């Protein structure tokens, strides 16, 4: 049984092809091609997507809304994500997306998304908002997450949009947030490259910081000189309860991603924490 903490269904509304993310298509060309090849050739991509999760025995899959209207004019609405989850059954859990530049309107939208639409967390891709993880515009949203008792995902790594600053996702910025909001539950993903050790340090300091292993092919986590090797070492020991896995489909095939995670040199009980247990605990799943 697994939980995929990061997935985008094959529907235009999820905005994979947003223009400001066009450089991602260059970087992930081969991996996205492999994902496409693993699905039926244009017949019914949604059916193949759903079948892939049947094949890996997925208990839950997290899909996310996103609001970058102020910076890029794009929005995957909370209503759409909530509707997708309702239409496709309890396997799918939605995270809300709000635009921090909208002030109190964003706070109210988050509360509505959780209390009325049933979404289970907040998604913030700070680089797309062109603000850093510790920008004070985000503080009211962080406080609201604590009040609503929901986790937040924040982008904490390099990004490949040449219209945004790479620095906005630097993991060390999350340390200040956690000092100010120690009750906040954060999934920092992808896992910090090229600041992997920095993110490990932040997670080691703060027990409510989870490292989201997503948007990176699992086999490269143990590749020599990849920069990810410390993640496997610490994630197999002191941080074993703070690692959560997501395929970031369509950036890689679902089945292959879980196969490669299980092939990593992790203790069996740790592997199960990475692919299910830690996410289940974070989401309050029995």
- Cα 200 to Cα 211: distance, rounded to the nearest angstrom: 8
- Cα 284 to Cα 53: distance, rounded to the nearest angstrom: 21
With bands split at pLDDT 50, 70 and 90, how would you rate the model's confidence at 41? very low
How does pLDDT run across 80-103, given as a tens digit for each residue? 999 999 999 999 999 999 999 999
With bands split at pLDDT 50, 70 and 90, how would you rate the model's confidence at 245? very high
Q: What is the pLDDT of residue 34?
A: 65
Using CA atoms, how far residue 240 sits from 102, 119, 250, 268, 272, in Å, is 37, 27, 26, 11, 10
Single out the residue of 35, 32, 88 nearest to residue 58, CA to CA. Answer: 88
- Bridge-based pairing of strands 152-155 and 122-124 is parallel
What distance lies between CA 138 and its chain's CA centroid?
18
CATH code of the domain occupying 2-283: 3.20.20.140
List, as one string, the DSSP characters of 112-141.
Answer: HHHHTT----EEE-HHHHT--TT-GGGHHH
What are the boundaries of each domain within the chain? Answer: 2-283
Q: What is the pTM of this model?
A: 0.92
With bands split at pLDDT 50, 70 and 90, how would you rate the model's confidence at 73? very high
- Cα 134 to Cα 175: distance, rounded to the nearest angstrom: 8
Mean local confidence (pLDDT), 137-161: 94
Tokens 């964003």, located at residue: 106
Residue 249 has pLDDT above 80, yes or no: yes
Single out the residue of 113, 116, 125, 38 nearest to residue 81, CA to CA. Answer: 113
Q: What is the pLDDT of residue 265?
A: 97
Tokens 């244009």, located at residue: 42
How does pLDDT run across 112-126, given as a tens digit for each residue? 999 999 999 999 999
């Amino acid at each position: 049984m697994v939980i995929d903490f990061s997935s985008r269904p094959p529907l235009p509304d999820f905005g994979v092809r947003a223009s400001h993310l066009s450089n991602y298509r260059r970087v992930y060309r081969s991996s996205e091609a492999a994902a496409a090849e693993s699905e039926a050739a244009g017949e019914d991509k949604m059916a193949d997507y759903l079948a892939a999760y049947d094949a890996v025995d997925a208990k839950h899959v997290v899909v996310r809304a996103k609001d970058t209207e102020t910076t890029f004019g794009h929005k995957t609405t909370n209503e759409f994500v909530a509707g997708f989850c309702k239409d496709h059954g309890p396997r799918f859990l939605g995270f809300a997306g709000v635009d921090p530049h909208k002030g109190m309107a964003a706070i109210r939208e988050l509360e509505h998304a959780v209390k009325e639409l049933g979404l289970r967390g907040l998604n913030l891709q700070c680089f797309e908002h062109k603000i850093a993880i510790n920008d004070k515009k985000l503080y009211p949203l962080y406080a609201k997450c604590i009040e609503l008792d929901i986790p937040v995902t924040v982008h904490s790594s390099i990004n490949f949009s040449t219209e945004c600053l790479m620095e906005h996702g630097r993991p060390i910025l999350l340390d200040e947030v956690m000092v100010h909001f120690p009750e906040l539950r954060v999934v920092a993903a992808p896992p910090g490259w090229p600041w992997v050790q920095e993110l490990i340090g932040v997670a080691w300091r703060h027990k409510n910081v989870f490292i989201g292993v997503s948007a990176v092919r699992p086999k490269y986590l143990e590749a020599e000189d990849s920069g990810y090797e410390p993640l496997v070492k610490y994630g197999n020991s002191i941080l074993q309860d703070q690692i959560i896995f997501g395929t970031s489909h369509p950036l890689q095939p679902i089945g292959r991603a879980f196969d490669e995670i299980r092939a990593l040199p992790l203790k069996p009980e740790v592997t199960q924490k990475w692919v299910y247990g830690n996410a289940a605990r974070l989401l309050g799943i029995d």
